[in-house]
Amino acid sequence: MDEMQEGAPAVCGCRQKATPRSTALQADVQKRLNRAIGQLNGVKAMIDDNRYCGDVLTQLAAAESAVRRVSEMLLAEHMRTCVVEEIRAGNDAVVDEAMELVRRFSK
């Protein structure tokens, strides 16, 4: 059985962040995610309504852009907090993880 930190969701086995995110960042991320969810729900409705492919693709691009911006924000937060904390604690291996995240989200 996988060991998980207390409070981590059982579904993904995610770890807890040591430094809490600011209230402002959390609010901004939630707002952006809600907007992306709304856009995706709109795309679903457009598919159900048999809307023009170009219009659907435009809405999908907007949703992708919104999600990508959230990823960029969280990656920057990760570098400022988690990565810095791990390096200060002597865990230089976190740089490899950070580089992998940068590669994943720079595509």
Inter-residue long-range contacts of 60-67, CB under 8 Å, 24+ positions, other chains counted: 63/36, 63/39, 66/32, 66/33, 66/35, 66/36, 66/39, 67/33, 67/36
What residues in the chain have per-residue pLDDT under 70? 1-13
CA distance 97 to 11: 22
CA distance 26 to 28: 5
Encode pLDDT of 5-27 as tens digits.
Answer: 444 444 556 788 888 899 999 99
Which residue type, as a one-letter code, is found at position 59?
Answer: Q
pTM above 0.85, yes or no: no
pLDDT for position 101: 92
CB atoms within 10 A of CB 39: 19
pLDDT for position 8: 43
